Chain A
Amino acid sequence: MNGMEREKYADQLHQRLLQHDPVAPADFAETYLEELVRRLRARAGSVVDETLVRDAATDALLDYVQHPSKFNPKKSAIFTYLTMASYRDLQNMLVKEKRRGRREIQIQDVEISTDDGNNIVELDNPILDNMSEMEIKDLLGRVAEIFPDARDRALLDLMIDGERRTIKYCSILGIQSLSADRQRKIVKQHKDRITKRLRRLGDKIHGT
């Protein structure tokens, strides 16, 4: 099927879903789920866990076939709608994962800090913790826009997590073979670049 035929078939399936045709959800999943997974994978970048990508795409599609009237064909193409919906689901999953990870690390840190008190890593994020789910979603959407490169997003993740070990950044940048001094310099350049972009985003959000 070419692009036009696919869109046409998707429209037909949409009509069948609205008419409660019992086979339409299965036909839709069989024809489009794999492509949705592929599109979401491409948008999310290779650093995101494949299981999460699959879950998010499946959740979005299953939700759509149960509630097809949520989609307005006049506003967008079905794939745009589904890719956006699954990307939002994926972002929510990632936020949850991150929060869970942060809580786990915090518990471990408390245990370690009782020994020597030198290894405490500040992982609380008062800004994120005080934001609503919707605000976080919106913010993540904007962050994803200014960091289209998957490698940058992976670096940003490390920075948000408070990671300070240069080696972690080096493995993302693929510069492990360079001298320690050179590694530090390159990592710093990348961190500065990302921080600048974030600052510009912050200025935009606050209208300054």
Chain B
Amino acid sequence: MEHNETSSILRHAAKKAGQMKFFLAEYLSEFRRFRGFSEEEVAQFLGCNAMFISKLSLCRRPQPQSQKFRSDVELNAVAFNIQPSRLVQLIREVEAMKVLCERKLVTQEVPQGLLAVARDITDVELDNDGTVKPVEDGEEEK
């Protein structure tokens, strides 16, 4: 019973932390969204138990630009018994997707994960300077 109370409070905190750049929570939820994963699938990807995801969300996010990036990832990996390479992959993937999103190549709706995104990107017609070519009226129906 007490354990349930703790998990529910941690889950609530993890949700709030998702709105703050400081925590890993934001990246975990973005990764889920991009990949179309459930919480269990994220845990499986990292190689840890799903019950640790809330706590992991409340960790300080390792900054790839920082000199401490490697040691921070390792500390997280040891604490949660996860694969360091998977955590790095998750962080890098989210960072890459964020850059892509900022360039407006990807819409907010990503129902089928990265494959769907990749497919969308190859379908987009680009101008010479690499920006998305605007669709002319009626062109969509061609």
A positions within 8 Å CB-CB of B: 20-26, 29-30, 33-34, 37, 54-55, 58-59, 61-62, 65-66
Contact = CB atoms under 8 A, between A and B. Distances in A.
B98 interface: no
15 contacts: A20-B68, A22-B72, A26-B58, A26-B79, A29-B55, A30-B58, A33-B9, A37-B9, A54-B9, A58-B12, A58-B13, A58-B16, A61-B13, A66-B20, A66-B22
Nearest to B14: A29
Contact of B62 (A22, A33, A54): A22
Interface residues of B, number: 25
A62 B13 CA distance: 8
A54 B10 CA distance: 11
Interface of B: 5-6, 9-10, 12-13, 16-17, 20, 22-24, 55-62, 68, 72, 75-76, 79
Contacts of B60: 20-25
B6 A25 contact: no
Contact of B55 (A30, A58, A61, A65): A30
A13 to B, nearest CB: 13
A21 B6 contact: no
Contacts of B5: 34
Which A-B residue pairs are the 7 nearest by beta carbons? A26-B58, A22-B60, A22-B72, A23-B79, A26-B59, A58-B13, A26-B55
Given A29-B13, A58-B13, A59-B16, 10 more contacts: A20-B68, A22-B76, A23-B76, A24-B60, A26-B79, A30-B10, A30-B55, A33-B9, A55-B16, A65-B58
Contacts of B22: 25, 66
Contact of B58 (A21, A29, A59): A29
Contacts of A59: 16
Contacts of A29: 10, 13, 55, 58
A133 B58 CA distance: 30
Nearest to B21: A66
B6 A62 contact: no
Contacts of A61: 13
Nearest to B80: A23
A34 B24 CA distance: 21
Contacts of A26: 55-59, 79
A30 B17 CA distance: 14
Contacts of A55: 16
A62 B9 CA distance: 13
B129 to A, nearest CB: 40
A173 to B, nearest CB: 31
B72 A25 contact: no
Nearest to B23: A25
Nearest to A28: B58
Nearest to B6: A34
Contacts of B58: 25-26, 29-30, 65
